[in-house]
Amino acid sequence: MRMLTLCFVLLAVTAAMAQPTPSDPPVSGIVAVDSVESAGGDTIEEVTVSGEQPGPGLWKISKDGHVMWILGALQPLPKKMSWRSRSVEAAVAESQALLTVPRVDPDIGFFKGMTLLPSLVGARNNPDGAKLQETLPPELYARWLALKARYIGNAEGIEKWRPIFAASELYEKAIDKSALTTKSDVLPVVKKMARQHKLKIIEPTLEIEIDKPGQAIRQFKKSSLQDIDCFTKTLDRLETDLDNMRARATAWAVGDVDALRQLPYPDQFGACGSAILNSSIVQDRGLQDVLQRVESLWLEQAQAALASNEVTFAVLPISQLLSADGYVAKLQALGYDVEAP
């Protein structure tokens, strides 16, 4: 069921004490920008952050004497960064619960999923065997070829993929070649701290039951997606935002929240999520409100944790902390006090 799981992961992605926490003291570390050569012979700048880094400060949410500390996680981050925050360790140590990033769990089941694996062959491909050159405007396809040569190299099979999956592969390869990674260890490290201090771990999970999954896969393989906007915005971001990605990664690593606020953040995932939300496989199953349901679930569990614990620790995507309509802004609108670092 990898295809359906991937679709819902895309949605979820586009799905974040008496005294304020003191800033971490400076830590030893090196931030550098190096140049490497791509498969196509082009020069690619990569960011290197070595040594122990603190990450950003904590947001404080409070009401009636109860506190929630929230750490904002960022993707991508430097590959070789070692992350450790003394303020996070102190906040976790005095907390009674950890509230994690919300997630979506398609309810398929392992054995049922195994029986459906053969039907997933070719699910990434365009219907009717169409290639990207046939589905994309000529100018957009020319941009794709240039970026593909730079970050992927010769790979003929990907030319048969739907734009949304080709764009995702291109993005991951570009991130990797820039010495960045989308596989952050922030949440696992915090969960390890929580277990060491015997915190209750609350993992908001929206379970989605997929009715007749085999039929859903067949429908998906035959249906088209309105994913050209997702593809275009991904190319736009790789052409214009890699420098800012490196700057954001460095700002996060050294705890420069002001820089994170000031740097523009073009996000192709909203367009990619919309392509899935507007697809027939989602619409026909009444799942187009998944993002709203995930948000409601997290807000509900956040309020319950704040009410029942003196101190709660939480992790969210930093976009949910900085956005004017993110989860933290929604808590503030509900009457909670919010203090940014």
- Give per-residue pLDDT as tens, 317-340: 998 999 899 999 999 999 999 999
Regions of the chain short of the pLDDT cut 50: 1-6, 8-48, 50, 108-119, 121
Model-level pTM? 0.79
CA dist list (Å): 13 to 224, 274, 313: 22, 12, 21
DSSP H or E segment with residue 231: helix 228-240
Tell me, what DSSP letter sits at residue 161? B
- Can you give the length of the chain in residues? 341
Helices H, strands E: what count in the chain? 16, 13
Q: What are phi and psi of 83, to 5 degrees?
A: -105, 130
Q: What is the pLDDT of residue 38?
A: 40
In the numeric block, which tokens belong to residue 1? Answer: 């069921």
pLDDT digits (tens, 9 = 90+) for 145-165: 999 999 999 888 999 999 998
Q: What is the pLDDT of residue 6?
A: 44
